[in-house]
Amino acid sequence: MSDVIVVGGGVIGLSIAWELASHGAIVKVLDQSTVGREASWAGAGMLPPGNLAGERTGEGRLRALSCVLWPEWSEGLLAATGIDNGYRNCGAIEVSFDRNLDDEASAWEATGNKVEILSAARRRHLEPAISSNVKHSYRLPEFCQVRNPRHLRSLEVACLDMGVELLEGEPVCGWKATGQRVTHARTVSTDYAAAKFVIASGAWSRQLANAVGTEISIEPLRGQIVLLRCSPLPFRHVIQDGARYLVPREDGRILIGSTEERAGFVKQNTVEGVQSLLQFAKSVVPTLADAEIERTWSGLRPYSGREEPFIGRLPNQENLFVAAGHFRSGLQMSPGTAVLVRQMLHRQESSIPMAPYDLLHDSSDGDETEAHELLSAPNQVVQSQN
Ligand SMILES: Cc1cc2nc3c(=O)[nH]c(=O)nc-3n(C[C@H](O)[C@H](O)[C@H](O)COP(=O)(O)OP(=O)(O)OC[C@H]3O[C@@H](n4cnc5c(N)ncnc54)[C@H](O)[C@@H]3O)c2cc1C
């Protein structure tokens, strides 16, 4: 029998499995399709900075904890698997054609993160390809990125090396329980026994919590990406304008992201989505008009309507836990989430306070209302600040 069954093999599930197996647990991961091919594969791999001493919110502390862990994890995975996940410090420049960015920059500074407000001349010096129509900008020199498909592959190989069983094509459809204790994860063909269970099923997590009578408000929010090929690269920093961004990869590729769409579980690219991304890219870096379009894709972010993901034990369940709802930040927050889950399952003191991630925690942040309003227009491409 396994010590732990993790349901879902995205970046959250695989990170948890690796962390637990590295600390001696016998772990099984059940995935309904192929591990590492959903939102975690589709994401852009941006890793904003964080400062543990200065962050005051649950979101900020988990981001900061993960920032500390990313270099260690990347080195550990490289040593264990020989796979370079592409974790790099590339820096980011936030740009705006109209919004004044002073408050945003001050907020980064107030939490102890390095920020440089850019004059037009300094911006031109750093990244001459950025449009001269940009009015405001600042730089986050500690912003990093990772090649998420490579990171997922390294996690998968590292898990297998540690003896984790990865079972693909095994959709969990419910639970077998005795009183308040889950004994098995049920699939169509098999009941899998374990001492503890973790729901890490991304945008699909709601159904699995519902199966034991718990409502968690996670739903899919689609994001589209257009991949360009452009050599030599016209810029080196990640360039962001609110929820839209350009992520340059060392091998001459540029990701343009992303939309936020309420489209159920339908993964596809749309004319409007792709057009709006291309338009955004040309407006920020005009020379991209000549770049080659290599491919497009979309993914389903687990949207929870609050700033923090759900990380905790399900109410009235002794041994059923959840780690889901990371929305736009699941890659970034994955190492921190895995460490917190390990500490929770082993009843150890947690690295940061756990209350903000509790299922019943009510985020009092005003952004929540804004996000709910954005979601009231079904099937529309919407933009928001992230
Ligand atoms: C376009 C886009 C850009 C993004 N950019 C970034 C970024 O730059 N930085 C960042 O940090 N985050 C980014 N994100 C968000 C990030 O990708 C997600 O928050 C993260 O991938 C969530 O990971 P997950 O493991 O919870 O979900 P997923 O990767 O979706 O994995 C869930 C897994 O669970 C499995 N599963 C579901 N239901 C069941 C079931 N019943 N039984 C068994 N298995 C099941 C699925 O098959 C899947 O493999 C982006 C997302 C998108 C879509």
pLDDT at 252: 96
Under 8 Å between Cβ of 47 and 331: yes
Nearest Cα residue to atom 21 of ligand 1: 40
Determine the distance separating the centroid of ligand 1 and the alpha carbon of 324, expressed in angstroms: 9
Q: Which residue has the tokens 């190989």?
A: 157
Q: Encoding tokens for residue 307? A: 């700033």
Q: Encoding tokens for residue 223? A: 């994001």
DSSP letter (8 states) at residue 337: H
Domains of the chain by start residue, with CATH: 2-85+147-218+305-376 (3.50.50.60)
To test the pocket of ligand 1, the residue of 31, 146, 189 to mutate (highest count of ligand atoms within 8 Å of its CB) is: 31
Query: Using N-to-C axis directions, what is the helix angle for 11-22 and 148-161, rounded to 10°?
Result: 30
> How far apart (Å, rounded) are the C-alpha atoms in residues 43 and 49?
17
Maximum C-alpha span of the chain: 67
Nearest Cα residue to atom 44 of ligand 1: 31
Buried b (16+ CB within 10 A) or exposed e, 164-181: bebeeebebebbebeeee
Sign of CA dihedral 105, 86, 322, 219: positive
- DSSP H helices, 261-321, are 271-284
Question: Would you call 247 helix, strand, or coil by DSSP?
Answer: strand
At a CB cut-off of 8 Å and minimum separation 6, what does 380 contact?
Answer: 261, 262
12 CA closest ligand 1 atom index: 25
List pocket residues of ligand 1, CB cut-off 6 Å. 7-13, 30-33, 35, 38-40, 42-46, 171-172, 200-204, 208, 223, 225, 257-258, 299, 301-302, 324, 326-332
pLDDT tens for the chain, 386 residues long, are: 899 999 999 999 999 999 999 999 999 999 999 999 999 999 999 999 999 999 999 999 999 999 999 999 999 999 999 999 999 999 999 999 999 999 999 999 999 999 999 999 999 999 999 999 999 999 999 999 999 999 999 999 999 999 999 999 999 999 999 999 999 999 999 999 999 999 999 999 999 999 999 999 999 999 999 999 999 999 999 999 999 999 999 999 999 999 999 999 999 999 999 999 999 999 999 999 999 999 999 999 999 999 999 999 999 999 999 999 999 999 999 999 999 999 999 999 999 999 999 998 766 543 332 332 333 233 333 333 22
Task: Give me Rg for the CA atoms of the chain.
Answer: 21
0.85 exceeded by pTM: yes
φ/ψ of residue 89, rounded to 5: -90, 110
Determine the distance separating the centroid of ligand 1 and the alpha carbon of 313, expressed in angstroms: 20
To test the pocket of ligand 1, the residue of 5, 6, 11 to mutate (highest count of ligand atoms within 8 Å of its CB) is: 11
Nearest Cα residue to atom 27 of ligand 1: 202
Determine the distance separating the centroid of ligand 1 and the alpha carbon of 21, expressed in angstroms: 21
> How far apart (Å, rounded) are the C-alpha atoms in residues 313 and 317?
7
Burial classification of residue 91, based on how many CB atoms lie within 10 Å of its CB (0-12 exposed, 13-18 middle, 19 or more buried) = buried
What single-letter amino acid sits at 263?
A
What single-letter amino acid sits at 191?
D
pLDDT at 146: 98
Under 8 Å between Cβ of 323 and 310: yes
Determine the distance separating the centroid of ligand 1 and the alpha carbon of 123, expressed in angstroms: 34
Q: Kindly list the distances between the CA atom of residue 375 and the CA atoms of 1, 292, 362, in Å, as whole numbers in the listed order.
A: 42, 33, 18
Q: Kindly list the distances between the CA atom of residue 370 and the CA atoms of 103, 215, 307, 359, 361, in Å, as whole numbers in the listed order.
A: 18, 22, 12, 21, 18
